[in-house]
Structure formats: structure tokens, C-alpha cells
A and B are shown apart, each in its own frame.
Chain A
Amino acid sequence: MNVFRLLGDMSHLLAILILLLKMWKTRSCAGISGKTQILFALVFTTRYLDLFSSFISIYNTTMKLFFIASSYFTIFLMYSKFKATYDSNHDSFRMEFLVVPVGGLAFLVNHEFLPLEILWTFSIYLESVAILPQLFMVSKTGEAETITSHYLFALGSYRLLYIFNWVYRYYFDGFFDLIAVVAGCVQTILYCDFFYLYITKVLKGKKLSLPA
């Protein structure tokens, strides 16, 4: 565990807490993509099956359980409790366009052709593109609530911090996971446009809105 990894995890945790807090306080999930949240639940479920096969640390296990539980709780809030506020008309990205190619790629490019390993690879690839329905929704409506942009910023920062963590691990631990690094870089690149808007607009007190 190095400082970048810890900050990355905390940023990820913060993102989830911001999202839950936003929904709970406003009693609304307006502006949030249910598709992205379903994909995240799928990511956590397929990646953390190793909870049953290997133990790494209390920290690791606790975080995994929290990520899985919070992702299903988010889906429950969106599709059941606060269903009336869910903006499904603008959440029209087709999940199968991501899940099917990513599934195929996980079969073809993996560290080892074993069920758990293929599922882990699938989750890494899927996570890298899971934000697309949310970004698509923001671009479709042309705006995002400030709290939603804080959520997206924390979520994007998490993978950027992981890249620093991988650089650190490469030099100091001799550790290098090509699949995680390439997917992590793709994931971070997808946020670049949003990072730019966040820094130039939201941090200056303006609402995030896209030019018409």
C-alpha cells in the first residue's frame, strides 16, 4: 500500500458517499445514469468473487464488501425508492454495446484462461468504460448538478491516482499488471474532457453546462 493507492481508494470511497448523500438528501436521483450504476454493480460483483478464494487484508475485504453493498443499494434507490425521479428518457445508452465487446475481449486477452481470472479481466475492462452512459447523459442534457460533478470528479480522480500508484509499484515493487494499467489509462482518458470542464467551470462556482 502506497500513498497514491490509499488516496485513490479514498477518492473512490468519497465518490460513492457523495452519490449516496446526494440521493438521500435530495430524495432524488435526477441526472444520475442508472445504466452506469448497474455496470458498476456488475464490475464489483465479477471482480470481488475472490472474496471467497483469497484473503488479502481486513482493509481489502471491508472495502470490497462496501463497494458491492453500496452499488446494489444505489440501484435499489434508483429503480425502486426514488424511481419517480429517475430520468430514464435521457439515460438511453445501450449497455449491451459495452458488455458484449468487453466480454469478448476478456476471453481473448487475459493473464490466464480460468473462470475467475476471465471474470476479473472482464470487470477491469468493463470498469474502464462503465462511466460512458453517465457521460452520455450529461452530454445529452447539456448540464450536470454541481453535486453530480463533484461525484464524477472524485470518481475520475480515483483511477488517475491509481496510475501514479502503478508507476510507484513498477519502480519500487517491480510490479506491473499490463491489463490493469492499459484499462486504467483508458478509463482516466475518458474523464479528461470532464476534468477540463470541472476545473474551468465548477471550481469557479459555475454550474457545469456544455456549450450548445
Chain B
Amino acid sequence: PSPKDTHDEL
């Protein structure tokens, strides 16, 4: 996955 699709951190 591309980092920008997964800003799943706080």
C-alpha cells in the first residue's frame, strides 16, 4: 500500500 493511503497512525 502507498503510505498516503494508510495514515493509520496517530
Binding site for B on A (CB under 8 A): 5, 9, 12, 47, 50, 56, 60, 63-64, 67, 111-112, 117, 120, 162, 165, 175-180
Contact = CB atoms under 8 A, between A and B. Distances in A.
B10 A60 contact: yes
B10 A111 contact: no
Interface string B1-10: 1111011111
A67 B10 contact: yes
B3 A180 contact: yes
Contacts of B8: 56, 60
Interface of B: 1-4, 6-10
Q: Secondary structure of the B side of the interface?
A: loop
Contacts of A67: 10
Contacts of A162: 9
Contact of B3 (A9, A12, A178): A178
B10 A64 contact: yes
Contacts of A63: 10
Which among B1, B7, B10 has the greatest number of chain A C-beta atoms within 10 A? B10
Contacts of A180: 3, 9
Contact of B1 (A50, A175, A178): A175
A98 B2 CA distance: 28
Contacts of A50: 7
A176 B10 contact: no
